[in-house]
Structure 1
């Protein structure tokens, strides 16, 4: 990453990436879309205390939702965890508040620098505000192209990581960006992460996020 700044946010460690990946891929859990601590430990190989610590950080960031199991039989209800996807029961109040705060900061910036305004409309602009703050929190330096609907994330702060870990990392980060855009509400969705290059190459790994307008907006 530029200037040697540390990578932070929801994907600051590969342990968190593995936990988030297990939540995004939780179709085999006992209750679809959710995982227990035990299931996450089994999926990641991490100690329960480590999983709990990372989950708490992810909940505080608005990326994971915690709920209590509704039981119809006797027994202590379990605590269930799911990824905040921004839709239905998987919407995080923390993530919504972060999106509103990002929009307010974006409006302030646009009043001072009118040239920074997007031509995509208010709702899409607020989505980009939330997405940019999420990316900056995650250690990226995003450059948005309103016309091509792309976000350039080069240089990627994760370029020096193991090549075999990159597919999971990109998949998780795409899911996080989709959740951020959904929580903000609007016509934009994250469609794909395009990455190329090798960790030892210079310049570092090239990384671009492709956005798209929903069919409803296009119509």
Structure 2
């Protein structure tokens, strides 16, 4: 189901990359100069982080469209599965659906679901992406939740929980949109325990869910 990378290999295991990704999720078409100013990191370090995020399908790079002479700047945007789509993320989504379908044919008992095929494929893609990112997600198809507890990232980077949660939610939303289907993200379920991390999903048009 996964690439087999350890959690430490994940592109979002580094808070510097999380911070960069957060900035790009908040505003698309960022330049390296803007990211250097915002993070205080050296330009070469920012470039290395950006390449890692590109390689994992989290962001894309495109040259600036210019009408004047001069070398165009490179602009970085988050792969949100809608306006901005990463070819790497598209390949991941297709591969996850194929592996999920194969598993359900080999193990028919795993096919017991009330969700339609598009929603199941969305969950296939999200679960694989989260596993590759170092999580151990548990999906409840009845309540439409994804339990990420314990979140290794939140433990290692406890002082940045708000940013981490926004970035993680953005990644889940992007994968769901890239996969295409009825599932969308509502948000994180409130919890007294800061170590708990549960993502709430809903079916589009389902007025019974928040």
Q: Provide TM-score, normalisation by structure 2.
A: 0.90
1:133 Cα deviation (Å)? 0.3
The CA distance in 2 between the partners of 1:105 and 1:183, in whole Å, is 17
Relative to 1, partners in 2 of residues 1:188 and 1:19: Cα closer, same or farther, differing over 3 Å?
A: same
1:162 Cα deviation (Å)? 4.2
Provide runs of 4+ in structure 1 moved above 3 Å: 5-8
1:163 Cα deviation (Å)? 3.4
Moved more, 189-198 or 116-125: 189-198
Note the 1:132-211 alignment, pairs <5 A: 132-194=127-189, 196-198=192-194, 205-211=195-201
**CA contact 1:62–1:93 (8 Å) conserved in 2:** yes
Aligned to 2:3: none
Of 40, 48, 52, the residue aligned with 2:47 is: 52
Of 102, 111, 115, the residue aligned with 1:108 is: 102
The CA distance in 2 between the partners of 1:80 and 1:107, in whole Å, is 37
Q: Provide TM-score, normalisation by structure 1.
A: 0.86
**CA contact 1:63–1:95 (8 Å) conserved in 2:** yes
Q: Deviations over 1:103-123 (max 9, x none)?
A: 011011111212222321100
Q: For 1:11, what is the secondary structure of its paired residue?
A: coil
Structure 2 unaligned regions, length at least 5: 1-5
Instruction: Note the aligned Cα RMSD (angstroms).
Output: 1.8
1:38 Cα deviation (Å)? 0.5
Q: For 2:156, what is the secondary structure of its paired residue?
A: coil
The count of corresponding residues between Structure 1 and Structure 2 is 201
**CA contact 1:187–1:217 (8 Å) conserved in 2:** no
Relative to 1, partners in 2 of residues 1:171 and 1:55: Cα closer, same or farther, differing over 3 Å?
A: same
The CA distance in 2 between the partners of 1:42 and 1:196, in whole Å, is 36
The CA distance in 1 between the partners of 2:167 and 2:154, in whole Å, is 15
**CA contact 1:67–1:81 (8 Å) conserved in 2:** yes
